[in-house]
C-alpha cells in the first residue's frame, strides 16, 4: 500500500515536471522501496526517475530490482551511465546481475566494467554454484598489523565508503595470508597509538572458496559474525561474505529445500514473477516420473487380482494403508533432511539415528495399529479377521516406511547427492509398493 502512495506521488510530480521535489522525495526513501517503486513504473518513466536518484542510491536500488526491471532499465541507459553505475555497484551484486542477464546484456556489462572489476568478476563467476566463493565480495577493508589504531581510522575514512562493510577489518601479511581480524568496536575502544597486532583476534574463523554457502550461513548463525572471511587453500584472503547476503542465502536455501521436498525444480524468482510455462516445466518432470513409477503398484495389484476379487473388502483399505505409510515415511525423511542441512547430524550418526527411529516407529506403529483395529470394526464395519490383517499390516508398514525415510536421505547424502531431491514423493512411491506387498503377504498368511 505504501508503495502505491509513493507511486502516485511520483507520478504527480512527474506530470508537474517538478524534478526538484521529486529528487528530494527519492532521497528520503530506502533503496529497497525505490526498487519496488521502479517495478510499478512504465518503461518510459523508469529511466527518468532512476536518473533523478543520487548515484549510490541508484546503484543500491538497482541491485534490489527484479531482473526483468533491471533488463528493461539497462536497455535505456547509455554506456557512460552504465559505466557510472557499475562503479558504484558492489562486485557481488554485479556478479548476480551478470548471472541473471541474457548473454548480450552480460557482455555489455563486462565491457563497461573497469579492468580490475572484470578480473574479480571472472574469478567469482568461476567458483562453483552454491559455493561460498560465488557469493563473496572483494570490497573489504584490509589493514596491516604494524599500523596503529589512528592509522587504521585514517585508512577506513579514506576507503570506507567504497567497502561493503567497515565494521570488520582484515589483517593480512604481505602475501595476503589472513593473520587477524579487528572489529570497528575494538578500534573505537582502544587508544589511538595501540598497534593493530596488539588488539587483533588471531584465531580467525573463515570459509574456503569452495565450501558450501549453507555452511557459511551456519557459521554466521553459530558465531554471530557480521562478515566472514573467504580464503583460498593457502589461507590467503580472497573476499568476504557479509551478513546481509547470509540472511538472503538462508531464506533462499530454505525455499529451495521446501520446493525440492515437494518435488518441484527450485526457482529463485517470486511466485507471481514466474511464467505459466516456466512453472509447468518446474513441476511436470517429477509428476511424470512419479506417475510412471506407479507402474509398480499397478503391477502388484494386478498380480493379486484373483485374491482381491475373493475378498473385495481388502481393496477399501489400500488408500489408508498407503497414505499412512507415506505420511510416516515423509515425517522421518523430512526431519532427517533438515537435520542434515543444519549439520545437527552427519551420515556417521546413522546407527544412533536408526536406533532412535526404530523405537519411535515401534511406538507409532503399535498406537496406530491398535486404534486402526477398533476403527475398522466399529466405524468401517468390517469383520475382526480383516481388521487384524489391516492393523498388523499398518503397524509393520509404519516401521518399514520410517526405516526407508531414514536410510534413503542418509545414503543419498553419503554418495554425494542432495537428499532434498529424493525426499517425500519419491520415498512415498517406494513405501507405497512395499506397503502393498506387505498387505498381500499378511492377507495371504492370515485369511486367503
Residues in 171-210 at the binding interface with its own copies, rule: CB under 8 A: 184-185, 188-189, 203, 205
CB of 175 to its own copies, least distance (A): 24
Helices (H), 345-423: 350-378, 384-414
Stretch that binds its own copies, among 12-20, 129-137, 230-238, 355-363 (CB under 8 A): 355-363
Our finding on whether 342 is near its own copies (CB under 8 A) is yes
Count of residues that bind its own copies according to CB under 8 A: 113
Per the document, the length of the chain is 448
Residue 372 found at the interface with its own copies (CB under 8 A): yes
> 181: helix, coil or strand?
strand
Q: Which residues, 6+ apart, have CB-to-CB distance to 96 below 8 Å?
A: 63
Q: Which of 102, 319, 351, 415 binds its own copies (CB under 8 A)?
A: 319
Query: Minimal distance in Å, beta carbon 119 to its own copies?
Result: 26
Residue 304 CB partners (closer than 8 Å, separation 6+)? 440
Q: Is 301 in the site for its own copies (CB under 8 A)?
A: yes
Task: Give min distance, CB of 69 to its own copies, in A.
Answer: 15
Binding residue for its own copies (CB under 8 A) from 375, 411, 414, 437?
375
- Contacts made by residues 171-177, CB under 8 angstroms, sequence distance 24+: 171/142, 171/143, 171/144, 171/145, 171/196, 171/197, 171/200, 172/142, 172/144, 172/236, 172/237, 175/236, 176/236, 176/237, 176/238, 177/234, 177/235, 177/236, 177/237
Q: Which three cell numbers stand for residue 24?
A: 528530494
How far apart, in Å, are the Cα atoms of 427 and each of 154, 298, 437?
60, 17, 16
Q: Is 315 in the site for its own copies (CB under 8 A)?
A: yes
Residue 336 grid cell: 532427517
5: Cα within 13 Å, side-chain hemisphere: 4
446 binds its own copies (CB under 8 A): no
Q: Which of residues 111-150 bind its own copies (CB under 8 A)?
A: none
Distances (CA, A) of 280 to 82, 289, 420: 35, 14, 20
Which position among 111, 292, 441, 446 is part of the footprint of its own copies (CB under 8 A)? 292
Site for its own copies in 28-87 (CB under 8 A): 28-30, 32, 64
Stretch that binds its own copies, among 80-88, 97-105, 130-138, 262-270 (CB under 8 A): 262-270
In the shown chain, the binding pattern of residues 214 to 243 toward its own copies, with x for contact by CB under 8 A and - for none, equals ---x--xxxxxxx----------------x
Closest approach of Cβ 405 to its own copies, in Å?
10
Q: How far is the CB of 316 from its own copies (least distance, A)?
A: 4
Amino acid at each position: 500500500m505504501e508503495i502505491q502512495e509513493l507511486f502516485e506521488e511520483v507520478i504527480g510530480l512527474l506530470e508537474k515536471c517538478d524534478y526538484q521535489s521529486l529528487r528530494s522525495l527519492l532521497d528520503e526513501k530506502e533503496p529497497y522501496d525505490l526498487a519496488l517503486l521502479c517495478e510499478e513504473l512504465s518503461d518510459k518513466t523508469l529511466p527518468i526517475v532512476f536518473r533523478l536518484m543520487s548515484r549510490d542510491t541508484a546503484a543500491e536500488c538497482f541491485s534490489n530490482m527484479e531482473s526483468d526491471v533491471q533488463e528493461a532499465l539497462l536497455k535505456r541507459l547509455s554506456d557512460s551511465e552504465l559505466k557510472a553505475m557499475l562503479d558504484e555497484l558492489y562486485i557481488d551484486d554485479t556478479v548476480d546481475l551478470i548471472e541473471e542477464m541474457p548473454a548480450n546484456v552480460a557482455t555489455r556489462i563486462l565491457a563497461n566494467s573497469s579492468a580490475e572489476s572484470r578480473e574479480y568478476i571472472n574469478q567469482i563467476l568461476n567458483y562453483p554454484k552454491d559455493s561460498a566463493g560465488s557469493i563473496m565480495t572483494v570490497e573489504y577493508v584490509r589493514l596491516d598489523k604494524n599500523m596503529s589504531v589512528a592509522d587504521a581510522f585514517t585508512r577506513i575514512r579514506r576507503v570506507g565508503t567504497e567497502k561493503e562493510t567497515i565494521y570488520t577489518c582484515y589483517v593480512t601479511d604481505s602475501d595476503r595470508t589472513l593473520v587477524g581480524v579487528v572489529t570497528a568496536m575494538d578500534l573505537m575502544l582502544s587508544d589511538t597509538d595501540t598497534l593493530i597486532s596488539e588488539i587483533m583476534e588471531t584465531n580467525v574463523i573463515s570459509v574456503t572458496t569452495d565450501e558450501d554457502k549453507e555452511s557459511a550461513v551456519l557459521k554466521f548463525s553459530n558465531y554471530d559474525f557480521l562478515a566472514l572471511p573467504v580464503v583460498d587453500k593457502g589461507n590467503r584472503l580472497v573476499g568476504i561474505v557479509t551478513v546481509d547476503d547470509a540472511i538472503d542465502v538462508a531464506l533462499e536455501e530454505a525455499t529451495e529445500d521446501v520446493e525440492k521436498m515437494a518435488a518441484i525444480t527450485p526457482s529463485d524468482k517470486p511466485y507471481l514473477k514466474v511464467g505459466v510455462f516456466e512453472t509447468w516445466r518446474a513441476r511436470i518432470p517429477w509428476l511424470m516420473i512419479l506417475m510412471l513409477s506407479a507402474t509398480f503398484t499397478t503391477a502388484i495389484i494386478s498380480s493379486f487380482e484373483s485374491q482381491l476379487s475373493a475378498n473385495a473388502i481388502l481393496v477399501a483399505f489400500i488408500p489408508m494403508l498407503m497414505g499412512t505409510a507415506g505420511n510416516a515415511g515423509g515425517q522421518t525423511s523430512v526431519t532427517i533432511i533438515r537435520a542434515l542441512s543444519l549439520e545437527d547430524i552427519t551420515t556417521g550418526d546413522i546407527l544412533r539415528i536408526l536406533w532412535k527411529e526404530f523405537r519411535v516407529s515401534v511406538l507409532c506403529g503399535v498406537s496406530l495399529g491398535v486404534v486402526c483395529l477398533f476403527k475398522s470394526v466399529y466405524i468401517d464395519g468390517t469383520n475382526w479377521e480383516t481388521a487384524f490383517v489391516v492393523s498388523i499390516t499398518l503397524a509393520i508398514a509404519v516401521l518399514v516406511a520410517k526405516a526407508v525415510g531414514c536410510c534413503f536421505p542418509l545414503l543419498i547424502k553419503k554418495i554425494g547427492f542432495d537428499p532434498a531431491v529424493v525426499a517425500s514423493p519419491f520415498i512415498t512411491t517406494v513405501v507405497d509398493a512395499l506397503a502393498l506387498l506387505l498387505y498381500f503377504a499378511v492377507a495371504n498368511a492370515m485369511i486367503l
